[in-house]
Structure 1
Amino acid sequence: MSVISTDDWLYELKTSQKLNNSRDFEDLQRTILCSQLVEHFNGATLQEIQFELQQQGLFQAHENIDIKKLQDQNTWEIVQEEYFYLKKRWGGPDIPIYIFPLTQEQNITNKNGVAYPDALFLFIGELEREELKALFAHEYNHVCRLRYLNKSLREVTLLDSLILEGLAECAVEEIYGSKWLAPWLGDYSSEKMLAIWKTQFLPNINIQDLNNHVEYLYGGKLPRWIGYCIGYEIVRTYIQSHSAKELLKKSSKNILTGSAFPL
């Protein structure tokens, strides 16, 4: 598998919207886009698939999407080229990659991505070439790591999630440079992260299911993005004193034990 020609799907959607002015745009999006993705969502309904992807950044069905702008950025070609490069570099799996416009309601960032064990989705606004490559690398690194872990998303522990994000950011830093790291990774001092690690994370590192990790990763009651920052620091400090070779295939506990974050 490789990058899917979702631009063809998008043009079909736009044409259908013009020809079916009376038809519900949400229904058209489900019929033309979501119906082709059911194999990745374990029996979910088209409505459930649509909702999940819209939560991740998929454009709203009523939005006037600019497909040509994404084509002019060579979006599909750049991701295809980077996929072949990273697949060889990391010994990664063959997966389908789906690219869609980012919703205009997303005003925090101009990009997002989501990785599943057997598929990868990118939601794109206007991006520089290197920024697009770094985004894809982050998400494909997740796919490679999830394949190694060989767990369902419900079996993944909080520690696995932290290492997952740390590995992806360190991979981006290694290949593309620190310019393309997530901007919040420098928000907290080592002392603050260690204090929060000991009180909030360490007692809960075995909590399973990605849905239960949201508060820890993104913040809310906890500081914003704190889990991403801690995950990056765990992997970064591991690399400082250990070989980074075969890092994707090291256990989460092994990486933690070799880091600056005590068990």
Structure 2
Amino acid sequence: MKTLGKALLIPAFCFMFMGCSNHEPVKKKEPESHITFSQEEQKFDIIYMYDEMQEYIDTVREQTGKSNETVFIEKVFEPFKKKSNMEGISLRYIFDPSSEVDKLAESVKDLDKNKDTTNRIIKEALLKSAKELPGNNKKVLVLPLNPEDTIVAEKMGGVGGFVLDDDVIVLQLSSAMEEDMLKYTVAHEYNHAIAGESNPGMMYTILGGVVLEGKADAFANIIFPKIDVPWQEPMTPEVKEKVVTEITELKDSSDPNRYAGLRNGIPSKDIPQWANYKIGYEIVQSYRKKHPEVSIGRWTSMHEAEIIAGSDFEKITAYEGASSND
């Protein structure tokens, strides 16, 4: 769930059978790699990039003499840029090519086999999210998770996600992904995308990133209230105070390394891992509790300073704009 410094849709589908003569075995049609569906006026495109990743694996195994990064750019990243309509992005902005091609190959195989289950889960999450918070058309690109990304694989249920633009969501999946984490991540990233439609400036400071994550987690919790995620484990009052002090000092900074410290943890300061998610969620939930009349759409698009000023964490910043509700 990346936002700063980059910061969790498809119809459930039954197998279709190909035409055959009486002498031919019945064959199942492979699930499509590009699927489109709509809810009212909002259109969703889901694009799987498993085939491109398999081409990367096959080419690396051929030992052509090209570096893994060169092959990845050619076989995966260039197609990704075209399909996402994000021609200007750089490789290091979002991806690290995997050198563990055997593990990646097994993952691609398993993910492809279970694609229709993935379709069902993502579609459910998107439809529920769009019903509560409609917006512009969205494109979702799905790739296998790099097996070297052990934090996502082991601590985040095998599901990674980020918003590349306000109309492009990227999901990275392990073959051992947890279904609940996939649902939750889709809702989380969908909220990021909707927030980006109306107020992209929220992503440009550390404080904006913290509140943005809080909004996305608050929204995902509304859509899937029974799903627990590890970064929402409450902090002790002492730890919370240290986190508040840290973000108060950093609030106007846009240094991605300082933001990464909040995400990864700073042991020397007793800042826990996922501090940005933890405190962001508490800030937004505090605001919602104090302002139940404010709609999901309104607080999703609201400036982070206004959210903080209307919460129990108002000391972090001094925002004097008029309060809004609808």
Which of the five TM-score ranges fits, normalised by the shorter chain? Answer: 0.7 to 0.9
Range with bigger deviation, 123-132 or 20-29: 20-29
| Pair 180,200 (structure 1): closer, same or farther in 2 beyond 3 Å | same
Change (3 A) 1:160 1:178: farther
Query: CA-to-partner distance for each residue in 1:227-247, whole Å, 9 max, x for gaps?
Result: 221111101111122125122
Q: Distance in 2 between matches of 1:75 and 1:209?
A: 36
Displacement of 1:93 in angstroms is: 2.9
- SS of the residue 2:252 aligns to: coil
Aligned to 1:137: 187
Aligned to 1:179: 227
Percent pairwise identity = 22
Q: Does 1:82 align with 2:82?
A: no
Compare the two structures and name the one with the higher helix fraction.
1
Q: Give 1:36-75 correspondences, 5 Å limit.
A: 36-38=79-81, 39-40=85-86, 42=88, 44=90, 49=91, 51-55=92-96, 59-60=98-99, 62-63=101-102, 64-65=104-105, 66-71=107-112, 72=114, 74-75=117-118
2:142 is the counterpart of 1:92: no
CA apart distance, 1:17 = 4.9
Residues 133 and 59 of structure 1, relative CA distance in 2, 3 Å threshold = farther
Change (3 A) 1:84 1:177: closer
User: What is the CA RMSD across the aligned residues, in angstroms?
Assistant: 2.7
Q: Does 1:256 align with 2:298?
A: no
Task: Indicate if the aligned counterparts of 1:29 and 1:61 stay in contact, CA closer than 8 A.
Answer: no
Measured after TM superposition, the shift of residue 152 of structure 1 is 8.3
Give the CA deviation at 1:256: 0.6
CA gap of 1:229–1:41, structure 2 versus 1, over 3 A, is: farther
Which structure 1 segments of 5+ residues have no match? none
* Match in the other structure for 1:237: 286
Could you give the per-residue CA deviations for residues 178-201 of structure 1, whole angstroms, max 9, x where no partner exists? 5332x132252234313431x322
Deviation at 1:115, TM superposition (A): 1.6
Q: Which residue is 2:163 aligned to? A: 115
CA contact (8 A) 1:164 1:231 kept: yes
Note the alpha carbon deviations across 1:142-196, whole angstroms, 9 max, x for none: 122122213385xx12221111111111122222125332x13225223431343
For the Cα contact (< 8 Å) 1:157–1:208, is it kept in 2? yes
Count of aligned residue pairs for this structure pair = 251
Structure 2: runs of 5 or more not aligned: 1-43, 316-326
Q: Is the 8 A contact 2:100 2:147 kept in 1?
A: no
The alpha carbon displacement at 1:248 in A equals: 0.7
Partner AA of 1:172 in structure 2: A
**What's the CA shift for 1:37?**
3.1
Shift of 1:202: 1.6
TM superposition shift of 1:35: 0.5
Which residue does the alignment assign to 1:215? 261
Aligned in 2, Cα 1:43/1:67: closer, same or farther, shift over 3 Å?
A: closer
Equivalent in 235, 244, 252 of residue 188 of structure 1: 235
Residues 3 and 96 of structure 1 are in contact (CA less than 8 Å); yes or no, is this contact kept in structure 2?
yes
Alpha-carbon spacing, 1:106–1:137, altered in 2? closer, same or farther (3 Å): same
TM-score (normalised: structure 1): 0.81
Give the Cα–Cα distance (whole angstroms) in 2 for the partners of residues 210 and 86 of structure 1.
29
Q: TM-score, normalised by structure 2?
A: 0.67
Instruction: Flag the 1:8–1:204 CA change in 2: closer, same or farther, 3 A.
Output: same
Change (3 A) 1:59 1:80: farther
